[in-house]
Chain A
Amino acid sequence: MLLIYCPYCQEERSELEFRGAGDAHIARPTNIADISDEQFEEFFFLRDNPKGLIFERWRHQHGCGRFFNAARDTISDKFIMTYKAGEPKPDIGTAAAPHAPVETYEQLEGEAK
């Protein structure tokens, strides 16, 4: 069960309190009535299914009720960061992972200190 940091409550809470809400940063066109079929298909139906970094929406359903965005690694299931709805898509490089995999406990010693 995942631990998710709610950017509104500003704490980690159990996945039980949240509900996934699909991909993030897909803006509904303000002129939606006028867009072409292709544009509507792109907006409503087409999604990437990346291996690795994904930007997605969550709702703190059984908490504050707010929708927010998260960057998550689909391989490790680790959250890289969460941020409030409406904030720009963050630029995440490889260095942004919470910490690199630990090979030995001696290696972790550095982190503990």
Chain B
Amino acid sequence: MSAANRIAGKGRLTPAKTARFTFDGKTYTALEGDTVASALIANNIHLVGRSFKYHRPRGILSAGAEEPNALIDVSRDAARKQPNVRATVQEVFDGMIVESQNRFPSLSFDIGGINNLLSPFFAAGFYYKTFMWPKAAWKSLYEPIIRRAAGLGVAPKEADPDHYAGRYAHCDVLVVGAGVAGLSAALAAAQTGAKVILCDEQADVGGALRYDSGVTIDGLSGYEWAQKTVAALKAMDNVQVLTRTTAFGYYNHNFVGLAERVTDHVANPSRHLPRERLWQLRAKRVILANGAIERHMVFPNNDRPGIMLASAARMYLNQYGVAVGQKVGVYTAHDSAYEAAFDLKRAGVEIAAIVDCRQTPGADVLAEARSLGIDVLAGQSVVNTSGKLRISSMTVARNGGGSPRKIAVDALLVSAGWTPSVHLFSQSRGKVKFEPETQRFLPGTYAQDCLSVGACNGTDDLQRTIEESLAAGELMAQAAGKASAGKISISAEQAHQWTGGMIGAAEGAGPETSAKAFIDFQHDVCAKDIRLAVREGMHSIEHIKRFTTNGMASDQGKLSNMHGLAIAAEMLGKEIPQVGLTTFRAPYTPVTYGTLIAHSRGDLFDPTRKTPLHQWEEAQGAVFEDVGNWKRAWFYPRAGETMHQAVARECKTARDVAGVFDASTLGKIEVVGPDAAEFMNLMYTNAWDTLKPGKCRYGIMTRDDGFVYDDGVVGRLADDRFHVTTTTGGAPRVLNHMEDYLQTEFPHLKVWLTSVTEQWAVIAVQGPKAREIIAPLVEGVDISNEAFPHMSVAECTVMGVPSRLFRVSFTGETGFEINVPADYGQSVLEAVWANAEPLGACVYGTETMHVLRAEKGYIIVGQDTDGTVTPDDAGLNWAVSKKKTDFVGIRGLKRPDLVKEGRKQLVGLVTKDPSLVLEEGAQVVANPNEPKPMTMLGHVTSSYWSENLGKSIAFALVAGGRKRMGETLYVPMPDKTIAVEVTDMVFFDKEGGRING
């Protein structure tokens, strides 16, 4: 073992199992099971990063998820690279590449460190003050500089090649945290037979038992008991233990999100394994055993590398076998830090002194310190530190202004006491309550079916923790419906009872100083910044938080919130509960986007809908466009054709010969029942009882407010059966709208609604030769113009396939739409095409469909209407019944604003220069020379080049449009103003004879 700070015989890692990794390009050796933090400290490295704002050298502060400082960039290769990983959580694997962050050119010499010297200019809130003037400098100067300086770490440039998984799970009892409380609770719940899931964010269970060497449970060391207990739990069929799994969010009705890190610790992960897995878990009952987080002391220059939490030093020693220094000081306000000194001393590390700001430390630990020969300086404080890239000394003075003296140290362990982790409890919307004696927030009023146990519930005593947890485990299993299975008895002892703790600034960091005493390490917030915020008028903790950014870093203030709150309360002269606590929000620790997205990316991001004719269209060389989730054939370019050329050819051919078009995506709803016609009368503006079976009608659907909601052709197949078509995008909401009225407003009607969109493939054949193309295939109906005129429907067979044949047209040409069961779609299309192609017909896509319908003045709901357009605005008043006494929208249409003069109306526009095609969405004005802002009359809704007419055509919604026929209006564009003439909307075949061919 080469690492300088490993202590033989300490820790639980196997010396023979090594892993090599690089840190800033230099290779180091770690042991299997090391975190990056423990491996770096083993190699005597404390300096691991630079702080965000002042670029101060920073080290490893903790040994857990709360780490604010030691954020690193971890990679396997250029693509598998993650910034802002906490070195205290990330396990080392062989071949790992670790880089420090936020430094240039190197960690030990960082140019950004000048910010530390300039810090008087960077006071809290400086963002809001400094960059206000001159105004012009914002875009050219301030913003680019701030953008370069802002942010931690560098995002990888390549797409993430790893995959992520998601899982849904249910259980009777979820236990969060596998320390002594969580293990006890899980044990008691599991023995009832309840389905239990136990999760812990660490690789190894045990929680504080991993470092607390003074604990004995049932005759075993705490750590051995934890291992034995978890083995027993894993052996039970009804228990699932998830390590490396963070419960990051507690949502409604005991819905808890877990992020499981599956391969981040593995050197060569199997390609079949996901990197991380999201668990979406619904638990009947939840037990929160989150433990507590140790707070640091707030004193001048408390951020040098080598200064760390006392419990972290114990963890590095007892779990990883690593001494954090050779001459270690302790500065504390709580007894627990003494035990770190005891452990290190027993391992042979020199303890410079325990500085205790309290006058009277706990008698129990004081006696033990004396017996170990450790110097305890009670009633004294560390008032400064020195050391450029690592602490070299602490300056100690008696409280109240004693003469300072320097004590040389290479590490300083600090503890201001413990903050119960009420994060998940608070996320569950439980209300915390403040306990003044211990100055901590504890679970108060529960909002969900959960219980907190152990340290996160403020229970300090070990035996009491175990009993409370066992009781909770049994209780929650019973509440989830399990019978009691008898009591479990566990007896435990701890070496020392702990007392003490403080929140807020310590000696030397009071209001009289301008020293940098850090509260929030990651965002470089000092005690004085909180005071400044209060002086500048921030009185709410939420305002103070935002002004100073205290608690807003990726560690979410796990260490800083209580200190900040205490200092603010002191400044405001209020009690802590009156100042209040900021809200805890998910996630508890950062969760990667990959985990949250899981499989939903790339092709799996959203469902893709393809029509039954899709394959054939692909073979024909179609270019597809996305229409909602549908892939629709857009146009069919021939070799060498541009889109414009292809569309022009398709448009010409369809009108000159015929065209074949896939209309399968049209929404289709079958409306069936004895009251079907009455229901249709209520849902559409037109009259339907007068429509004879075998005939079709174009229908407009409005909402109760009178605005156009959808449109489509409806065929009546029988007295009690309508075949309703909707717009492609509108199908689901139209069905929902119909169901809503049928179920809740008109439940007396005997009607059944069925979505049949996917059941039918729809082949439209349009053009002068349409009949000639389909006639040989159709049986059972006479499709001559006399027997089967425009707007007819019949059930027949096509190629022997049962079919619904519509004589309808969205082109103004003689047209048919053949509906056949989806599975026969391609065969029928092939037969249609075999007849069509020799006649010179074409297959056309949605772009040509759009042009052809615009030439004829047919609107598209959702393109030419926008939810504020009435049937009259769209020129469709003829489709609104004047005789009916009720339909959805009848009253809305009479509203004063909907009938007043001057509403925007759909009209046609032709450009004075016929070669200019307007931009859809462009504004229309009457006087282009009017000073800005001009009076805007409306906007262009559809615009195309019409090859058949040899000019550009457009629709626009224009105020008072129908009274402006022949008027010249203008469409101002960035580079020119286009003059247009207002026309009616029918540009082609105004007499409408072609449709009856």
Interface of A with B (CB < 8 Å)? 1-3, 14-15, 19, 21, 27-28, 32-33, 35, 37, 40, 44, 57, 59, 61, 65-67, 76-77, 85-86, 101-103, 105, 108-109, 111-113
Contacts and interface: CB of A to CB of B under 8 A. Distances in A.
B451 interface: yes
A76 B885 CA distance: 44
B252 A1 contact: yes
A23 to B, nearest CB: 12
A113 B476 CA distance: 11
Given A3-B253, A27-B745, 20 more contacts: A1-B251, A1-B255, A3-B252, A19-B736, A28-B745, A32-B891, A33-B891, A35-B891, A57-B744, A59-B736, A67-B740, A67-B743, A85-B744, A102-B446, A103-B446, A105-B451, A105-B453, A105-B468, A112-B476, A112-B479
Interface in B466-524: 468, 471-472, 475-476, 478-479
Interface string B118-129: 000000000000
Interface residues of B, number: 38
B656 interface: no
Contacts of B674: none
B745 A77 contact: no
Nearest to B287: A105
A110 B885 CA distance: 60
Given A33-B886, A35-B891, A108-B451, A2 B252 contact: yes
A59 B739 CA distance: 10
A2 to B, nearest CB: 5
Contacts of A33: 885-886, 890-891, 894
Contacts of B876: none
Contacts of A35: 891
B81 interface: no
Contacts of A112: 475-476, 478-479
A19 B253 CA distance: 17
A112 B747 CA distance: 42
Contacts of B429: 76
Nearest to B703: A44
Contacts of A61: 736
Contacts of B476: 112
Interface of B: 251-253, 255, 280, 282, 429, 444-447, 449, 451, 453, 468, 471-472, 475-476, 478-479, 704-705, 736, 739-740, 743-745, 747, 885-886, 890-892, 894-896
A32 B744 contact: no
Contacts of B743: 66-67, 85
A28 B446 contact: no
A76 B704 contact: no
A97 B445 CA distance: 15
A20 to B, nearest CB: 12
23 contacts: A2-B252, A3-B252, A3-B255, A14-B282, A28-B704, A32-B891, A33-B890, A44-B705, A57-B744, A59-B740, A65-B739, A67-B743, A85-B743, A86-B747, A101-B445, A102-B449, A103-B445, A105-B451, A105-B453, A105-B475, A108-B479, A112-B479, A113-B478
Contacts of A27: 745
B447 A101 contact: yes
Given A1-B251, A76-B429, A105 B891 contact: no
B253 A2 contact: yes
Closest 3 CB pairs of A and B: A112-B478, A112-B479, A3-B253
A27 B447 CA distance: 34
A15 B253 CA distance: 10
A108 B480 CA distance: 12
Given A33-B886, A108-B479, A77 B252 contact: yes
A75 to B, nearest CB: 9
B886 A32 contact: yes
Contacts of A67: 739-740, 743-744
A106 B744 CA distance: 45
A30 to B, nearest CB: 8
A66 to B, nearest CB: 7
Nearest to B444: A103
A60 to B, nearest CB: 11
Contact of B896 (A37, A85, A86, A108): A37
Nearest to A4: B253
A70 to B, nearest CB: 14
B252 A40 contact: no
Contacts of A57: 744
B704 A108 contact: no
A105 B280 CA distance: 26
A1 B475 contact: no
Contacts of B479: 108, 111-112
A111 B476 CA distance: 10
Interface centre among A33, A66, A86, A109 (most CB of B within 10 A): A33
Nearest to A33: B890
A77 B428 CA distance: 11
Contacts of A65: 739
B828 to A, nearest CB: 32
Contacts of B255: 1, 3
Contacts of B886: 32-33
A57 B892 CA distance: 22
Given A35-B891, A40-B891, A44-B705, A105 B471 contact: yes
Nearest to A69: B744
Nearest to B894: A33
Contacts of B705: 44
B451 A76 contact: no
A109 B475 contact: yes
A55 B471 CA distance: 39
A76 B447 contact: yes
Nearest to A105: B451
A12 B468 CA distance: 31
Nearest to A103: B445
A108 B475 contact: yes
Nearest to B746: A28
A31 to B, nearest CB: 8
Nearest to B735: A65
A113 B252 CA distance: 24
B890 A1 contact: no
Contacts of A85: 743-744, 747
A49 to B, nearest CB: 20
Nearest to A34: B891
Nearest to A79: B253
Contacts of A1: 251-253, 255, 280
Contacts of A2: 252-253
A111 B743 CA distance: 38
A16 B453 CA distance: 32
